[in-house]
Amino acid sequence: MSKHQQVLITGGQGQLATDLVQVFNSSDTVALSHQQLDITQQSDVEAALRHYKPDVVINAAAFTDVDKCEAHPVQARLVNSLGPENLVAAAHKIGARVLQVSTDYVFDGMLERPYIETDDTNPQSIYGQTKLQGEQAMRDCDL
């Protein structure tokens, strides 16, 4: 990544986003919390991307509590599946690239070696299913 690219990180109060902000350590990086950007709201996502004009969007926002995802599957799908779709659609409009963060929950845990991104997926939970749907939305786009 070149020095002067604008980076927008979603899920700004989470551990991953906090670590990413430290890694980038730049005034060209902005991390937005859920309160600042609800990725389930397409109009909010479009407005934020138009305002910040990022070159790169890193989606660190997720509904990560596996048990709560099972209890609240609609909310899990909104955040983990629809949210990434909203981000990629808005990013496409401004020519930004999007990085979607994955999880080992998209796999079934049956391999006796570490998984690689080209392994077959087989999520066993709502969390894994919704994260995989978000990843598929990213793969299906042209960014």
Domain interval for residue 78: 7-139
Does the annotation count 52 as an active-site position? no
pLDDT of residue 143: 53
Q: Is residue 2 part of a domain?
A: no
Distance CA 82, CA 63 (A): 12
Q: Which residues of the chain fall below pLDDT 50? A: 1-2
Q: If you write DSSP's letter for every residue of 112-136 in order, what string do you get?
A: SS---TTSPP---SHHHHHHHHHHH
Find residue 143's DSSP bridge partners: none
The whole-number pLDDT of residue 25 equals 79
State pTM to two decimals. 0.90
Q: Does 1 fall in a domain?
A: no
**CA 94, CA 23: separation in Å to the nearest integer?**
25
Q: What is the pLDDT of residue 3?
A: 54
Cα distance between residue 23 and residue 38, in whole Å: 24
22 occurs within a structural domain: yes
Q: State residue 142's pLDDT score.
A: 59
Segment 115-135, tens digit of pLDDT: 998 999 999 999 999 999 999
104-116 confidence digits (pLDDT tens): 999 999 999 999 9
Which CATH number characterizes residue 96's domain? 3.40.50.720
- For residue 141, what pLDDT is reported? 74
Q: How many domains does the chain have?
A: 1
